[in-house]
């Protein structure tokens, strides 16, 4: 099964047959390359930008009545965890289209709600993969 990400109406794809550019008319072979890199899709970029905006503006509709902005200066690890949950939960299809933006936001915002209100029960409870804090990339770019 080929894998890849989309952007600007085209999708880069890598499969056992090589790499290429998919357009509406089919697969157009571009060039083989050893080190394969992809850009995240415009749809994912929009999802992340939207989530970040509402999280940093204090106006996220799923956190109405929760003073979560105070965490930014006082307990940034809670915000870090919310973004990690969002990133771990969000799913893209083979063309890079976001499949579950609302669900990813709900899981992340439920974490923050439970941070402020210990009586709030996250349902279903978080699974380990949802809350995993993956390591950062190296400080030196690879390209």
pLDDT value of position 108 = 98
73-97 pLDDT per residue, tens: 899 999 999 999 999 999 999 899 9
What are the sequence ranges of the domains in the chain? 1-28, 42-131
11-26 pLDDT per residue, tens: 444 444 444 444 444 4
3-state secondary structure of 31: coil
pLDDT value of position 2 = 40
Q: Which residue has the higher pLDDT, 20 or 104?
A: 104
| Residue 45, pLDDT above cutoff 90 | yes
Sort 10 into a burial class: Cβ within 10 Å, 0-12 / 13-18 / 19+: middle
């Amino acid at each position: 099964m080929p894998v890849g990400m989309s952007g600007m109406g085209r999708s880069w794809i890598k499969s056992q047959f090589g790499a290429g550019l998919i357009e509406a008319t089919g697969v157009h072979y571009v060039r083989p390359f050893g080190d394969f890199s992809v850009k995240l899709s415009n749809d994912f970029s929009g999802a992340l930008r939207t989530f970040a905006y509402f999280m940093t503006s204090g106006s996220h509709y799923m956190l109405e009545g929760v003073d979560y902005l105070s965490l930014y200066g006082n307990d940034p690890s809670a915000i870090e965890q919310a973004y990690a949950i969002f990133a771990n939960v969000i799913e893209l299809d083979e063309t890079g289209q976001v499949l579950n933006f609302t669900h990813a936001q709900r899981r992340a915002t439920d974490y923050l709600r439970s941070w402020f209100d210990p009586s709030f029960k996250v349902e279903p409870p978080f699974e380990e993969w949802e809350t995993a804090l993956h390591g950062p990339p190296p400080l030196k770019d690879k390209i």
